[in-house]
Each structure stands twice: as structure tokens, then as C-alpha cells.
């Protein structure tokens, strides 16, 4: 261990769970931004992923605060931030941001978007699923033209409100790190913006992977136009995100503060694998080249023309590599910012435990939990266009068919 380091700096206060938290919230924000492309900006090509993106954002949002609660060690005290709010603390205000985004944005948009289908499904279902879906309608079974028009308008307004809310949900995480002036690795005005665009990248990549895999497992044909448009947006988002990260790095070099030497030493030794190999090469450069060659982002049809199956496989591999790169970004920010001494003279190490609250097993479980929740949501609220009740079902059922109608 070269140089001098204080005894209380050997043990890192923020571990793998804190790495996981900004990663999960970034997936939530990115998936919601993708959903808004169809609802607000009328990008019709991504319509097959609209509901899937909403349910993905909801599933990951339900799990997002769990790493924080597990890290604090006293999760039963978490409600006290609502009872005794501290408006001057960015961390304390997270509870209100989370509650707003969950209750006012995501849950309401999902409800308004699914209400008509829930009513129709409940009228045709049998058994427990019938009552589950009827309970989700909250008794609002009116399917008149006026009511459906209100649902559409309300959903659009909520989506518009949700876009800056998504920025706030994940941007405040970057704000917390960027506002810590005593840490030269974190202190940067670009930190919130970098977090936002990396969140968009991760969300689009995640929905692309889920959409492709679920379509294959359902033995359905992948929508070619949807995949190409997702890859195109993913390419542009990576370009912007990479440019911002490069700008931040160049700015640090140009300032050449007294911390630049220890930061360079940390990158060359402690973070070489996670920063240079995983984040820069595998997570950014390789996917960027793959998407540039295959997707229609720069040239119609792509520079390299491949069969649709091989092209979609390229999209899938690129999206998986991007997820590795985004997770590496969160690792490098959270862990990397704690590896050097406050005296700027020495480095420490971080060893990941296998078991325990802060262990690898717990983090893997929290990463898999959103997919379990998403599976349950998809069972109750199928996001697939071919399973949604059509206008024929609406006309055939009439205003009431075994369920009370809201007059």
C-alpha cells in the first residue's frame, strides 16, 4: 500500500449495496424515458415496448430502496424521514421523491393505461384472476368514450410530468456525489448530468434485452422496426453519455489540481479493470462500434448488412455489454471515491464479501428480485399487444357483463 493512509480509511463506509442503489434507480429512469418516447413524442416504432417499459420501471422501482434499507441496518426507522423531514438534506428528501415517483407517476400511469383492459379482462376471466383484475380497476368500470378519452389525456399528462420526475429521481443521486467538495473524484458539476444520460442508456438497453428474450420465449416474431429504433436511440444515448464522461475527464486533467496524481495512480492500479477494461472498452467502445456498424443510426440499413436474426443478436450482445459498463460506472464512482486517502497520499482496497448484508449474495438476490416482480406483473398485466382486448371485445361486452358499471 503506497503512501500514507489514515487508520479509519481502511474500511469503506459505502459498499456493494450502495453501488446497487444508483444502478437500480438508473434503470427505472431510463425505462420510463423510453416509455415516454411513444406516449409523448409519438415514436410509433417503439410502441411494442411501451407497456413493457412501464412495468419494468415499476418492478425495479419497488426494489430500488431495498439496498439502502439493508445498508442502514435499521429499516424500521425509515418512516421517520416522513415524520420529521429535513428539507436541507438531499438524502432525507429522497423518501419524498421516491413516494412522488411511485404513487403519482408510475402507479397512476400504469392504472390509466390498463384500466380499460382490466375491465374487459375481468369480464371474461374466471377464478381468482377475475377478482384480482376487478380489484385493480378500483371499481371504475365505465368504458364510455368520454371515460376512455379522459384516461388517455390523464395518462399523457402524467407522462409529461414523469419525465422531469425521472430526471429528479436519478439526478439527485449524482447531485449528492457531485456536491461533496472534499472528494475530488466526486466533486463535479457534470456528475448529475452524467448519471442521467447513463441511466437513459441502461434503461433502453435493459428493455431491449427483456423485449427480445420475452418475445423469443413466447415464440413470437420480433418487431424489426422496433428493434432498429431501440438500437438507434441506444447508439445516440451512448454517444452523448460517452462525450459527457470524456468532457468531465478532460476537465479534471486541465484543472490539474493537487489530487490529479493520486487519482491517476488509482486509475492505473485499483480501477484499471473496472474503469479501463469493463467500463471503457467492454461497456462503451465495443457496443458503440457494434451498434454503429449494424444499426441504422448513422446509415440506413447500417454499414454492415446482416440477416435479421444475426443483427438482433448483435443488438442483444451490445445491450448486455452496456449493462456491464453502466454497473462498472456506478462501481467506479461509489467505490473509487473511497479508495484514496483524504491526505491524497495513499490508497486502500475493497474486498467483496460473499455472504452477509453487504455481501455479493445479497446484491445478486436484490438484482434478481425485480425480474421476479416483473414476471408477476406481466402475469396480471400482460404488456403484449396481441393479448390486449381489442375494440371488438369492447363492443361485444357492452356497458356491463357481470360487473358493476360506474355510471
* Per-residue pLDDT band at 406 (split at 50, 70, 90): very low
Q: Burial code of 58-75, b = ≥16 C-beta within 10 A, e = fewer?
A: bbbbbbbbbbbebbeeee
pLDDT value, residue 105: 86
Give the whole-angstrom CA distance, residue 88 versus residue 18.
22
Instruction: Name the residue with higher pLDDT: 304 or 352.
Output: 352
Q: Which residues pair with 347 in a beta bridge?
A: 340
Residue 303 backbone class (left: φ over 0; alpha: ψ -120 to 50; beta: rest)? alpha
What would the grid cell of residue 126 be?
A: 374466471
| 229 pLDDT above the threshold of 60 | yes
Give the whole-angstrom CA distance, residue 247 versus residue 143.
52
Q: Which residues are CB-neighbours of 277 under 8 A, at least 6 positions away?
A: none
Please give the mean pLDDT across all residues of the chain: 83
CA-wise closest residue to 238 among 292, 305, 190: 292
Instruction: Name the residue with higher pLDDT: 17 or 92.
Output: 17
Q: Are 170 and 195 in contact (CB under 8 A)?
A: yes
DSSP state of 49: G
Backbone angles phi, psi at 347, to 5 degrees: -125, 150
pLDDT value, residue 213: 93
Instruction: Name the residue with higher pLDDT: 8 or 384.
Output: 384
Half-sphere exposure of 82 (CA within 13 A, CB side): 10
pTM of the model: 0.88
* Per-residue pLDDT band at 297 (split at 50, 70, 90): low
Q: Classify residue 104 as exposed, middle or buried by CB count within 10 Å of its CB (0-12, 13-18, 19+).
A: middle
CA 113 to chain centre: 20
Backbone angles phi, psi at 333, to 5 degrees: -75, -55
pLDDT value, residue 407: 34
Distances (CA, A) of 144 to 19, 112, 337: 48, 14, 56
Give the whole-angstrom CA distance, residue 91 versus residue 107.
23
pLDDT digits (tens, 9 = 90+) for 268-281: 888 888 888 999 99
153, 158, 159, 164 alpha-carbon torsion, rounded to 10°:
140
CA 121 to chain centre: 29
| 301 pLDDT above the threshold of 70 | no
CA-wise closest residue to 230 among 311, 150, 162, 161: 311
pLDDT digits (tens, 9 = 90+) for 139-183: 888 888 999 999 899 989 988 988 888 888 777 777 788 777 777
What would the grid cell of residue 398 be?
A: 357492452
pLDDT value, residue 404: 46
Give the whole-angstrom CA distance, residue 331 versus residue 320.
17
Helices (H), 125-190: 128-136, 145-178
Amino acid at each position: 500500500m503506497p503512501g500514507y493512509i489514515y487508520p479509519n480509511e481502511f474500511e469503506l463506509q459505502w459498499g456493494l449495496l450502495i453501488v446497487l442503489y444508483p444502478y437500480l434507480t438508473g434503470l427505472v429512469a431510463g425505462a420510463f424515458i423510453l416509455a415516454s418516447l411513444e406516449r409523448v413524442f409519438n415514436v410509433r416504432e417503439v410502441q411494442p415496448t411501451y407497456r413493457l417499459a412501464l412495468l419494468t420501471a415499476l418492478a425495479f422501482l419497488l426494489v430500488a430502496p431495498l439496498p439502502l434499507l439493508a445498508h442502514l441496518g435499521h429499516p424500521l426507522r425509515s418512516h421517520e424521514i416522513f415524520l420529521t423531514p429535513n428539507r436541507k438534506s438531499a438524502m432525507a428528501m429522497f423518501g419524498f421523491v421516491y413516494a412522488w415517483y411511485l404513487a403519482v407517476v408510475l402507479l397512476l400511469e400504469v392504472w390509466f393505461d390498463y384500466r380499460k383492459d382490466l375491465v374487459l379482462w375481468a369480464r371474461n376471466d374466471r377464478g381468482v384472476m377475475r377478482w384480482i383484475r376487478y380489484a385493480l380497476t378500483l371499481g371504475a368500470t365505465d368504458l364510455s368514450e368520454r371515460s376512455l378519452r379522459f384516461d388517455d389525456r390523464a395518462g399523457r399528462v402524467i407522462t409529461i410530468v414523469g419525465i422531469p420526475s425521472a430526471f429528479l429521481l436519478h439526478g439527485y443521486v449524482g447531485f449528492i456525489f457531485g456536491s461533496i467538495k472534499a472528494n475530488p473524484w466526486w466533486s463535479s458539476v457534470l456528475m448529475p448530468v452524467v448519471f442521467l444520460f447513463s441511466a437513459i442508456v441502461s434503461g433502453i438497453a435493459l428493455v431491449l434485452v427483456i423485449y427480445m428474450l420475452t418475445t423469443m420465449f413466447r415464440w413470437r416474431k420480433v418487431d424489426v422496426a422496433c428493434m432498429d429504433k431501440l438500437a438507434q436511440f441506444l447508439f445516440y444515448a451512448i454517444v452523448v453519455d460517452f462525450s459527457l464522461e470524456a468532457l468531465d475527464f478532460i476537465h479534471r486533467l486541465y484543472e490539474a489540481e493537487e489530487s490529479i496524481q493520486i487519482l491517476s495512480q488509482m486509475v492505473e492500479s485499483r480501477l484499471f479493470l473496472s474503469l479501463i477494461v469493463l467500463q471503457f472498452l467492454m461497456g462503451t467502445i465495443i457496443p458503440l462500434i457494434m451498434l454503429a456498424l449494424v444499426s441504422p443510426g448513422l446509415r440506413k440499413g447500417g454499414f454492415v448488412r446482416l440477416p435479421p436474426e444475426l443483427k438482433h443478436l448483435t443488438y442483444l450482445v451490445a445491450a448486455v455489454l452496456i449493462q456491464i459498463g453502466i454497473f462498472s460506472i456506478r462501481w467506479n464512482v461509489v467505490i473509487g471515491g473511497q479508495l484514496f486517502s483524504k491526505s491524497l497520499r495513499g490508497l486502500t482496497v475493497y474486498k467483496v464479501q460473499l455472504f452477509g448484508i453487504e455481501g455479493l449474495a445479497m446484491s445478486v438476490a436484490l438484482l434478481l428480485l425485480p425480474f421476479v416482480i416483473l414476471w408477476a406483473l406481466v402475469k396480471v398485466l400482460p404488456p403484449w399487444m396481441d393479448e390486449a382486448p381489442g375494440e371488438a371485445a369492447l363492443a361485444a361486452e357492452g356497458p356491463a357483463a357481470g360487473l358493476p358499471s360506474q355510471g
